[in-house]
Amino acid sequence: MDHLQAMRVFVRVAQLGSFTKAAEQMQLPRPTVSNAIQYLEAHLRVRLLQRTTRRVALTAEGALYHARCMQALADIDDAESLFADASAGPRGAVRVDMPERLALHTVIPALPDFFARYPDIRIVLSATDRLVDLIDDGIDCALRVGTLRDQSLVARRVGEFQQFHCASPAYLEKHGVPRSPDDLADHVAVGFFSNRTGRDLDWEFEEDGELRTITMRSSVSVNSAHAYLGCCLAGLGLIQAPRASIEPLVASGQLIEVLQDWKAPPLPASIVFPQQRHLAPRVRIVIDWMAELLGAAYPQKVDANS
């Protein structure tokens, strides 16, 4: 049994908490993964993983060994990259997670240019509005929009999304046009609920330099950007959403902007990745590329007084 490969298998099993998921991600037979763990446990003469019918978890000894494996494997990857054939360039798979509409409208259209520059890097793209756990799901880096609350992740802010408010013509014909945030008590919104808390996100406005939040009533709540937009087009309520991806619908008349004089604070866009000593060169390349792409598409406003 190759010792380094066994260590890599162990790290992936520990991250995913599953022999089966590790085998699928590493494209290995399930017995090979089991044999690798058995080999390490026999070699070290300790139990590294606690197996249950539902999940695999690290033992105390396994947690210590996992931390050392992560450091050792990162060092090996970095050392080998120093002497790789410069003409070959970086290679390997990078697992990336991001919101679906951001993937469809910004990142995926730019991928042909990326692959022209880095033909040996393979992107494994998870495009979902569900907040995934980077460690549990084996994600190398993710694009996140909004305020970040997970202090265990390293965050690199790369841009921001301007927000606006809109509704369908049918909704406005039935409920009238709100002229200020005070009118929103007589209106309903399409709710967008947090996967973390399960509750709808409040609306926010910048008013005299202060942040004002309003809890909106809703008849329907969703956790998908596509469903959020679909409900708005169906006349089910007002929405507060990033301008870039919805502006074409306003230009075509399918949606109508309201509350133009009342600005919502921009949503920060960040690239996040797990805290660890080293990032593989291919992951750094993807992060730098996405930072450049997002920074150009959704630049941050510079405070003239700063």
Alpha-carbon gap, residue 66 to 161, rounded angstroms: 38
Alpha-carbon gap, residue 77 to 195, rounded angstroms: 35
- Both 112 and 171 in one domain: the answer is no
- Both 150 and 275 in one domain: the answer is yes
* Residue 303 belongs to some domain of the structure: no
Domain count, the chain: 3
| Residues in CB range of 141: below 8 A, 6 or more apart | 94, 96, 97, 134, 271, 272, 273, 283, 286, 287, 290
pLDDT interval class at 288 (50, 70, 90): very high
Alpha-carbon gap, residue 22 to 47, rounded angstroms: 18
* Residue 72 belongs to some domain of the structure: yes
Residue that terminates a domain, selected from 61, 82, 103:
82
Q: Which two tokens mark 91?
A: 């290679």
Q: What is the predicted pLDDT for the residue at 304? A: 41
259, 260, 248: which is closest to 178 by C-alpha? 259
Alpha-carbon gap, residue 193 to 202, rounded angstroms: 9
pLDDT interval class at 84 (50, 70, 90): low
* Residue 48 belongs to some domain of the structure: yes
Residue that terminates a domain, selected from 52, 82, 112:
82
- Both 103 and 242 in one domain: the answer is no
- Both 173 and 110 in one domain: the answer is no
3-class SS of residue 261: coil
| Average of per-residue pLDDT values in the chain | 83
* Residue 100 belongs to some domain of the structure: yes
Alpha-carbon gap, residue 60 to 51, rounded angstroms: 13
* Residue 302 belongs to some domain of the structure: no
* Residue 282 belongs to some domain of the structure: yes
Is 88 a residue whose pLDDT tops 50?
yes
* Residue 35 belongs to some domain of the structure: yes
Residue 186: DSSP 8-state: G
Per the CB < 8 A criterion, the answer to whether 32 and 19 are in contact is no
- Both 29 and 66 in one domain: the answer is yes
Is 112 a residue whose pLDDT tops 90?
yes
207, 209, 229: which is closest to 220 by C-alpha? 229
Residue that terminates a domain, selected from 53, 82, 111:
82
- Both 277 and 154 in one domain: the answer is yes
- Both 171 and 193 in one domain: the answer is yes
Range of the domain at 24: 3-82
Q: What is the predicted pLDDT for the residue at 82? A: 59
CATH of residue 130's domain is: 3.40.190.10
Alpha-carbon gap, residue 123 to 141, rounded angstroms: 11
pLDDT digits (tens, 9 = 90+) for 229-266: 899 999 999 998 888 778 888 889 999 999 888 888 88
Task: Give the Å distances, CA to CA, from 282 to 80, 137, 159, 260.
Answer: 13, 19, 22, 43
- Both 178 and 243 in one domain: the answer is yes
pLDDT interval class at 306 (50, 70, 90): very low
* 207-214 contacts, C-beta under 8 A, 24 or more apart: 207/181, 207/262, 211/265, 212/181, 214/181, 214/184
Is 4 a residue whose pLDDT tops 80?
yes
**CA distance from start to end of the chain:** 59
CATH of residue 32's domain is: 1.10.10.10
- Both 147 and 71 in one domain: the answer is no
| Residues in CB range of 133: below 8 A, 6 or more apart | none
Per the CB < 8 A criterion, the answer to whether 269 and 290 are in contact is no
- Both 145 and 105 in one domain: the answer is yes
Task: Name the residue with tokens 């590790």.
Answer: 22
pLDDT interval class at 303 (50, 70, 90): very low
Q: What is the predicted pLDDT for the residue at 166? A: 92
- Both 73 and 206 in one domain: the answer is no
- Percentage with pLDDT > 90 across the chain: 23
pLDDT digits (tens, 9 = 90+) for 188-210: 999 888 777 778 888 888 877 77
Total Cβ atoms within 10 A of residue 273 = 20
Per the CB < 8 A criterion, the answer to whether 251 and 76 are in contact is no
